[in-house]
Amino acid sequence: MKSSTVSGRLGQSGKVQPGRSSRHPASWWSQFQEVSDRFDAASVTEVLADEIVPKISNPLLRREAEIATEVVVRHLNKVSSPELAERAAKATARLIATVERLNERATNQDLTTAETAALVHALQGRYAEAASEAEPFVGTVPLIKAFVAALRLEYFDVGLTVKLIGAGQGPSMAVQTGLTIGRYGWWPDWLLKIVADRAMSGRLDKETIAALDRCAYAELSPAQSRIARRILNGDRNMIEASASRLEDLGEVDAAAKLRQGDLTAVALAARLIPL
């Protein structure tokens, strides 16, 4: 598996900033594994290696890294095999020995030490440490994509999760949001757009999702959908007009909720607009 390389980096604010290097601690990266009991070790190892190995400048060391990665991934895809487990351990040990031998011969500090150290972390199952070590020279976004892909979650909005992390949300919260919203992939596009906007601004909670779900189930016409979208986006004129119509129809409580920002009345207000 090969993830695409991008130039963006997550700066100190947590947002993607082109051209800036950064490094999150291993504890930040470990949040990905904590949210799923289906974390795919073979997948994340392979993608991390795809990103790290080409950065190893020494041809001999790079070849040893490729061999070790191939053997370890084969083992992770068949963890029940003692033979593959032994071969994986030996291949990793040989890679480490090659690094030590080259460093002993080098007159200057070996420039591939950081890259190889990150790869060894990955090959030995320390994925959070590997990502933290590799982040300055690989970039943050490719690593995020590697971890998100390895979660193997059903009904999961990968794109939104990556965007949320890029906007500064922590991995745990962003993954939970992606998992929640993934269940509602059948919602109409206009409603999903509102969901994404609210998630990006940190205004998406269970009550909001429940209210938006009512809008999705309301089977609104195109015109009614436009009304609902304007209300959800905070159009004060539309909110007041819709609240007044609710009052005219005897829905006084719903009108009051709508004016107070309670989204539970949005679906009702939109459905009461004549077709």
Written as tens digits, the pLDDT of the chain (275 aa) is 333 222 233 333 344 443 345 789 999 999 998 888 889 999 999 999 999 999 998 888 999 999 999 999 999 999 999 999 999 999 999 999 988 887 777 655 555 678 999 999 999 999 999 999 999 999 988 999 899 889 888 778 888 888 888 888 889 888 888 887 888 888 888 888 888 888 888 888 888 888 888 888 877 888 888 888 899 888 999 999 999 989 998 999 989 989 988 888 888 888 887 65
Q: From CA 106, how far away is CA 93, in angstroms rounded?
A: 20
pLDDT of residue 181: 82
For 106-235, where are the alpha helices, taking DSSP H only?
A: 113-123, 127-138, 140-150, 158-166, 171-182, 189-200, 206-217, 222-232
Residue 152 tokens read as: 């193997």
* DSSP class of 3: P
Measured from the Cβ of residue 90, the count of other Cβ atoms closer than 10 Å reads 12
Cβ contact 182:231 at 8 Å: no
Which residues have C-beta within 8 Å of that of residue 31, sequence separation ≥ 6? 170, 171, 172, 175
